[in-house]
Amino acid sequence: MAACPALFISAPSSGSGKTTITAGLARYHRRLGRRVRVFKTGPDFLDPKLLARASGAPVYNLDLGMVGAAGCQALLAQAALDSDLILIEGVMGLFDGTPSSADLAMHFGVPVLAVIGAKAMAQTFGAIAFGLARFQPQLPFHGVLANRVGSPRHAALLQQTLPGDIRWLGHVAAESALMLPERHLGLQQPDDIADLDSRLDRAADAIAATGLAQLPAAVEFGMPPAEDVEARWLQGQRIAVARDAAFSFIYPANLDLLHALGAELAFFSPLADEPVPAGCHAVYLPGGYPELHAALLGTNRQTAGSLQTHAAAARPIVAECGGMLYLCDALTSVDGLTTPMLGLLPGHATMQSRFAALGMQQLDGRHGAMRGHTFHYSSFSTTLLPAGRAHNPDSGKEGEAWFTHGPITASYMHAYWPSNPRFAAALFLGEAF
């Protein structure tokens, strides 16, 4: 059996400081020379980047719906074989969503740390802790940490409100130097935070003064499944992957799958005006923040020319969310400024101040079902008719359209390719629809 000390970091709600505490924990134990693996619950792209910076290792997503129980178990068991500590950051509040963070923690028996933002709070702290610990009796509960505490006296008052059987693991002070900056899709990317390592080290210092300085108990995760030799549907294929500050929403598991299917990956940066690498059979344009770099992307002619040549040669281009916006005719900002884009996909994208879509997605096609999610702050107007349309697997509500135009396949949906390797391969072979 693969066993490793493990802790699930959750909270009553979003905005409680889960990511800061998880990152501080990872940095603290890493500074002690321990091998730390961090996982993020849900389909998030941004938190994993910061957690990877803190832990020094790639951060994979866990989600009972999108990744599946077997996929989550395989990731955790593999990590347990060569790690000294596994940390899992939850999503939203502990019991929010279906499946929830609590569902994931219970499924794998990982004890839960509740991070409670205690600013402007006194006795209510104990009530919240009591509710989190007792709402589902089968939940393995580790204890509580008070976050954003005003003073040692405030911390003592909070501790006094706890029932005797709920473990107090200390507190972290309210300090702006610990907080991680945000933008419209969530936290800022690591490279955009000049003092990120200083913030992570300060968070680690804060953790050192709490009960979290000690390793939690070991959890058994079983053994990784035997190596499943997938059909090498992409053997001999060279795939160009755009990767920079504008195109960075990439699941590590997706790239792992392309390798497993036989593909060779070659990375390039549209922001740096790099061309599609030579000899590539297909291109992947992931999501990200093209709207923050629209002016530069609109003038980078070398990248544009190489993508136009690639498309003219009828070689597949797979574009997700921000990648789709880059291919369209024009992109209009929240301020009303319109910038011409590549013009390879008929349509006009318009940014807005509120999100346009959010939730899990499932696309059913001739290769079966592929799961993923959507989260975007733009709308896309096009004369193209959808080649397929996803739906929300929980509510059944109609979801994101998938468009095809020549060799281009594009959608707002961020697909988790390991959920259907055959479908993923078909995308890059131009055979998905």
Among 291, 349, 271, 284, which residue's Cα sits nearest to residue 310?
Answer: 284
| The residue type at 112 | V
Q: Could you give phi then psi for residue 24, rounded to 5 degrees?
A: -65, -40
- Is 72 within 8 Å of 110 (Cβ atoms)? no
Q: Both tokens of residue 163?
A: 């029932």
Query: 3-state SS string over 200-266?
Result: HHHHHHHHHCCHHHCCCCEEECCCCCCCCCCCCCCCCCEEEEECCCCEEECCHHHHHHHHHCCCEEE
**Other Cβ atoms closer than 10 A to 218:** 14
Catalytic residue, from 4, 280, 321, 328: name it.
Answer: 321
d(CA 21, CA 199): 11
Q: Please tell me what DSSP assigns to residue 277.
A: P
H or E stretch at 429: helix 421-429
What's the gap between Cα 167 and its chain centre?
30
Alpha helices in 82-216 (DSSP H): 101-108, 124-134, 152-160, 196-208
d(CA 396, CA 392): 5
Active site residue 321: yes
Q: Could you give phi then psi for residue 140, rounded to 5 degrees?
A: -75, 110
Q: Which residues contact 263 (CB under 8 A, 6 or more apart)?
A: 234, 235, 237, 238, 239, 428
Among 352, 344, 343, 240, which residue's Cα sits nearest to residue 291?
Answer: 352
Among 67, 50, 68, which residue's Cα sits nearest to residue 58?
Answer: 50
- Is 111 within 8 Å of 104 (Cβ atoms)? no
| The residue type at 349 | A
Q: What three-state secondary structure class fits 61?
A: strand
Q: What angle do CA 291, 297, 299 make, to 5 degrees?
A: 135
- Is 288 within 8 Å of 322 (Cβ atoms)? yes
The catalytic site residues sit at 321
